[in-house]
Structure 1
Amino acid sequence: MWDIIINKNIIPSFILYPDYYITAITCKKIKNLQYNIKLINEFQNKVKNDRKIIVIDTESYENDLNIITEFGWCVFNVDGKIIKEQHFIVKEYYNLRNGNYVPDNKDHYIFGKSQHKSLNEINKILQDEINCADFIIGYGIHNDIKYLKNSGIEFSKFSFIDGEIFNPNRKYIIEMYDFHSAYFLKAPSILKYGLKDFQIKYKYLDNAGNDSHYIMKYFLKFIKNFNINSKKYSRILNINVPTNFSSCKFFY
């Protein structure tokens, strides 16, 4: 604990917030940050270029978040080769429109042609894509997975990667919030600000198809630009956290 106290000035403020006291939760947050820094490096160096990643994004009706109105996904290899991009509008919910709390960009997919299909049809197509993927990534992916499970999608071959030893040959679900906080050493934020951090130009966010494309570009920026030997990461990794503390899951 003493090592954390004397290094308090280099610990990112979002870890110390709100009271700036060193507590057990602080230790868990630091452990989690260290883990995610190492995770980006391991993904960068251990995952083969031909492993298949699927970015999944959904849009829900703002007055009932359990109703998924759009599905979008982008399938690509670790080397950045795009295999497939798709945007589906749920036919039976087409007339449920957002606009009061979330922008309504359902009809503004810019990376192909939107398809209108029933929820059951979309579920079957998405399930086939998931079954062929090695990694699932997303921005706020925990919520997407929760709603997709409720919709009937099966994820039994995948596990969330939360503090465990990374095995590049296993199938994982990876949260982009974790990559963002580890790379930039700051609190994760909404996709728009993450894209701005990497100077990625965007149009019509809050369309599931567009978001999945931009998350793909965002993810590749992490993998291509990360340098674990940077001083800012070395200082965090060298903080000695007592061994009796495990990483803290979902602390943001």
Structure 2
Amino acid sequence: MQSIRLLSSWRPVATRAASRGAGCWRRPIFQGIGTRPAGSIYAVEEAEERTLEAIRIISPELTSRQRKKLKAAIAEEGRMEELAKSLKASSKSMVFSVDVEKYESGNEILEVGVAVYVPHTPTILAYHFIVSDNLHLSNGRFVKDNRHKFLYGESIHIPLKSLQYVLARYFSSLRELFDSCTLVGHSIQNDIAWLNTIDLHIPRDTPVLDIADVWMARYNQATVQTSSLKKMLTALEITAPAPHNGGNDAYHTLKVALEMMEIYVDLSLRVNGEV
């Protein structure tokens, strides 16, 4: 049987590429996925079986539930690899992130951040919407209230009903402009669920990628635990002030995803209109 190396072999290269302002990643080796025709259902099934077997051998202490969780995370990492290839090869593919900040003592949405990366452009475009209906509600007990500390442009104060319309139109326009639009996020299913509560739905056929799962597959296979966005940013040496601001977190989430895919963008920070 061929040897199998899981993605735990991934590690940040110690020497960072200063000229690109980002870390470099070693390429993964994932062998022994079977000899049937690539892309066939049999090849996929064999790959999954071998993945589970490799997990059992390398981490026998994991429970069945943890093994399944890790297998799903490894599959997510594979999807990130495919997304990276698509973004590097085609100008008709794009990726965007969404971050929702809700009231810590209720279910009201306070902010929504959106960040967009289009291939062959040097920067990430970020947008920050503050729900004007809920300005009387503030966080601060469990998470910081950084609602008014958006670093990448001007915040937009908008009623909830108008926000629903604006974002729905915006997401629709992205799908019209690009052949492929992928949503990335950190524990993104939570953000999607919160958007659903205000009747704002990401189209079901939109590819969704969770960087928390990919990070687990690369670095946390032994514990099968997710890492916070803050820990990821620290590991990648990305400066990320004013967290828990929807716009900032959307930007930083997308920046982490792009760096994990070895796609480098301008890291210039614009704070209060100054570089």
State whether TM-score is above 0.5.
yes
Query: Is the aligned partner of 1:99 residue 2:140?
Result: yes
Aligned to 1:7: 57
2:151–2:248 CA contact under 8 A, matched in 1: yes
| Closer, same or farther: CA 27–110 of 1 in aligned 2, 3 Å | closer
- Residue pair 2:124, 2:251 contacting (<8 A) in 1 also: no
Measure the CA separation in 2 of the matches of 1:111 and 1:92.
23
Distance 2:155 2:139 in 1: 17
CA offset digits 1:90-118 (Å, max 9, x no partner): 11101200000011101111111111110
**Structure 2 unaligned spans of 5+:** 1-48, 176-180, 264-275
Equivalent residue number for residue 115 of structure 2: 74
Q: 2:252 aligns with which of 199, 214, 217?
A: 214
Contact 1:54 1:130 in 2 (8 A): no
2:96 aligned to which of 54, 79, 84: 54
Higher strand share: 1
SS in 2 for 1:201: coil
Tell me the CA shift for residue 142 of structure 1. 0.6
Shift of 1:176: 1.7
When residues 34 and 211 of structure 1 are mapped into structure 2, their CA distance, relative to the original with a 3 A threshold, is: closer
Whichever residue aligns with residue 262 of structure 2, its letter is K
Which of 102, 124, 128 is the aligned partner of 1:87? 128
Change beyond 3 A, Cα 1:29–1:61: closer
Residue 54 to residue 40, structure 1, CA distance change in 2 (3 Å): closer
SS, match of residue 7 in structure 1: helix
Contact 2:74–2:214 (CA under 8 A) maintained in structure 1: no
Tell whether the 8 Å contact from 1:88 to 1:117 is kept in structure 2 after alignment: yes
Matches within 5 A, 1:236-247: none
Residue segments in structure 1 that go unaligned for 5+ positions in a row: 160-170, 226-252
Query: What corresponds to 1:150 in structure 2?
Result: 197
Name the residue aligned to 1:174. Answer: 209
Rate the CA distance shift 1:30–1:174 in 2: closer, same or farther, 3 A: closer
1:223 lines up with 2:264 in the alignment: no
Deviation of residue 83 (structure 1)? 6.3
Q: Deviations over 1:182-220 (max 9, x none)?
A: 232453211111111111111000000111111121111
Q: Which amino acid aligns with 2:256?
A: Y
Residue 218 of structure 2: aligned partner: 183
Distance verdict in 2 for CA 1:183–1:79, change over 3 Å: farther
Distance 2:110 2:55 in 1: 48
How far the C-alpha of 1:82 sits from its partner, in A, is: 4.0
* Alpha-carbon distance in structure 2 between the residues aligned to 1:60 and 1:125: 19
Report if the CA contact (8 A) 1:91-1:117 is conserved.
yes
Q: Name the count of aligned residue pairs.
A: 202
Question: What is the one-letter code of the residue matched to 1:211?
Answer: D
Give identity over the alignment, percent. Answer: 25
CA RMSD of aligned residues (A): 2.4
Partner of 1:229: none
In 1, distance between residues paired with 2:246 and 2:233? 16
Question: Deviation at 1:77?
Answer: 1.5
Instruction: Determine the C-alpha separation between the residues in 2 that align with 1:210 and 1:25.
Output: 34
- TM-score, normalised by the number of residues in structure 1: 0.72
Contact 1:158 1:173 in 2 (8 A): no
Q: Does 1:138 align with 2:185?
A: yes
2:80 and 2:209 in contact (8 A); partners too:
no
Q: CA deviation at 1:69?
A: 0.5
Could you say which structure has the greater relative contact order, defined with CA pairs below 8 angstroms and 6 or more residues apart? 1
* Deviation, structure 1 residue 49: 4.1
Alpha-carbon distance in structure 2 between the residues aligned to 1:183 and 1:5 = 13
- The code of the aligned residue for 1:55 comes to S
